Structure 1
Amino acid sequence: MNNFTEHFIDIHSHILPGIDDGAKTMGHSIELLTNMYKLGIRNFVCTPHVIEGVWENSTEKILSTFNELNAVVEQTPNLKEINIRVAAEYMMDENFQKLLENKDFLPIKDNKILVEMSYLAPPANLFETIAEIQIKGFVPILAHPERYKSFHQDLGVYQRLKSAGCMFQINMISLSNYYGKDVHESAIWLLRNNMIDFIGSDLHHMRHMEVIESVVTRKNMMEMVTPIIYNNHQLK
């Protein structure tokens, strides 16, 4: 069953094997891709975490792991139509400042980079960092803004971030209650207020896959994100 248009590109996924908290093995990576393919998804950007002290993935390590996965995908008969690219999801921590200084990023496309922050509290220098990213010639896409609990008590921060030049990427999983009711409500509020620029799966494992499969059968949810799915096409 094909539930997606040709315009959808999954710009946020953790399907590279053994590199972060996503797919653990090459077999897991292929399993996830196979199940996403069955939903009609053909285009993926792998975005492993880059987090100081947790997932200290260098650009070289990410590219090497991606090349290994891509070689297997190319030899997998039922995945012939799949296209995968590689980028990363960067935590805005102290190490991020070093990467920023050296412009050492793997963008989603052109100069757009995927960034994240702590779910509990934003960095004290959040707006300064957003400005520095742009000064260096990049455009920040904030991953899953609906998941940052500190923002739920101050919805105005979303508009301030947008005004500061930050783009937003919502998680498909947030269209369910998987992360909790508060995250779901935040996602719907952001969508209804036209603040979301892109959508991604943030796929890590088969539990996420099951949630995504349930979301795409919900007509009201899919109708709400259809314009965002078309937006993703500009990142092809």
Structure 2
Amino acid sequence: MFQLFKKKSSRPIISDFSILGADMHSHLVPGIDDGSKSVEMSLDMIRGLMALGYQKIITTPHIRPDYFPNTTETIMTGFGELQKAVEKEKLDIELECAAEYFVDYEFREKIDNEDLLTFSGNHILIEISTFSPPPNLYESIFQLKIKGYQPIVAHPERYTYYQVDEFRKLKDFGCLLQVNTMSLTGHYGKPIKELAQKLLKADLVDLLGTDMHHPGHLEVLQKASKDGKIMNLIANKEFRNATL
């Protein structure tokens, strides 16, 4: 159906994710969302990402008032503890911390107060409901843009109520799109994998992220690194990860 994974001879198949340089979506600050449960678990996942070739990790805990009512303070306190542990273990990795913001009506208040955690300058990671689009999505994006932020829509392939044209509209509105690498493996199901493939085929994807929450995700990524079709795709697409 798709020619997306057709082998190309212009570049060799790669064996890790070092070509990306940075992972910009993960949940490694321990104990504050549905990600890592402990510093030790975080360290194990960081070691695993390093072994897969990543040189920089931007971790992005959830901020979602109904489930994960984190604040800038709680996130940065937890991240500080993680940084100390990484330094103690002498892990040669660049770490940065931001957040993954759920777009709801409370998010607008954070925009107005400019109480936002960004990375690599002005980049901000946002997510929306996987069940239905929020009525204030474009208003929130507009407010972010006029305040100088660069919104990145996390895992658009999981919003299967949208067609490709809607994601093209989001791009035209000034958003970047970040697909989860694990979506390409079918980890989240066939419809999500197929939408990820469509977005890549349409050249709408700017970034890849692991969205790593636990060691099981590391195992999925390790298997993906041995999948020639997936790795050849990554080698032959231009992503922005290395610019972060």
Same fold (TM over 0.5): yes
Could you list the runs of 5+ residues in structure 1 that have no partner in the other structure?
none
Work out whether residues 14 and 203 of structure 1, in 8 Å CA contact, stay in contact via their aligned partners in 2: yes
SS of aligned partner of 2:24: strand
Q: Partner letter of residue 43 of structure 1? A: K
Work out whether 1:44 is the aligned partner of 2:57: yes
Counterpart for residue 107 of structure 1: 118
Work out whether residues 179 and 208 of structure 2, in 8 Å CA contact, stay in contact via their aligned partners in 1: yes
Percent identity for Structure 1 against Structure 2: 37
Query: Paired residue for 2:222, among 207, 210, 213?
Result: 213
Structure 1 Cα separation of the partners of residues 82 and 65 of structure 2: 24
Query: Paired residue for 1:185, among 177, 194, 200?
Result: 194
RMSD: 1.6
Q: Partner letter of residue 82 of structure 2? A: L
Counterpart for residue 210 of structure 2: 201
Q: How high is the TM-score relative to the length of structure 1?
A: 0.93
Counterpart for residue 65 of structure 1: 78
Structure 1 Cα separation of the partners of residues 75 and 159 of structure 2: 26
SS of aligned partner of 1:12: coil
Counterpart for residue 143 of structure 1: 154
Q: How high is the TM-score relative to the length of structure 2?
A: 0.90
Q: Report which structure shows greater RCO (CA 8 Å, sep ≥6).
A: 2
Structure 1 Cα separation of the partners of residues 54 and 167 of structure 2: 29
Q: Partner letter of residue 122 of structure 1? A: P
Where in structure 2 are the equivalents of 1:78-89 lying within 5 Å? 79=91, 81-89=92-100
Structure 1 Cα separation of the partners of residues 121 and 155 of structure 2: 21
Structure 1 Cα separation of the partners of residues 136 and 19 of structure 2: 39
Query: Paired residue for 1:94, among 105, 119, 123?
Result: 105
Structure 2 Cα separation of the partners of residues 2 and 42 of structure 1: 15
Structure 2 Cα separation of the partners of residues 69 and 171 of structure 1: 24
Q: Partner letter of residue 85 of structure 1? A: E
Structure 2 Cα separation of the partners of residues 60 and 227 of structure 1: 40
Counterpart for residue 144 of structure 2: 133
Higher percent of residues as helix: 1
Q: Partner letter of residue 65 of structure 1? A: G
Work out whether residues 19 and 235 of structure 2, in 8 Å CA contact, stay in contact via their aligned partners in 1: no
Shift of 1:227: 5.3
Work out whether residues 20 and 239 of structure 2, in 8 Å CA contact, stay in contact via their aligned partners in 1: yes
Could you list the runs of 5+ residues in structure 2 that have no partner in the other structure?
1-13
Work out whether residues 13 and 200 of structure 1, in 8 Å CA contact, stay in contact via their aligned partners in 2: yes
**Count of residues in correspondence between the two structures:** 231
Query: Paired residue for 1:20, among 33, 43, 46?
Result: 33
Structure 1: 4+ residue segments shifted above 3 A: 227-230
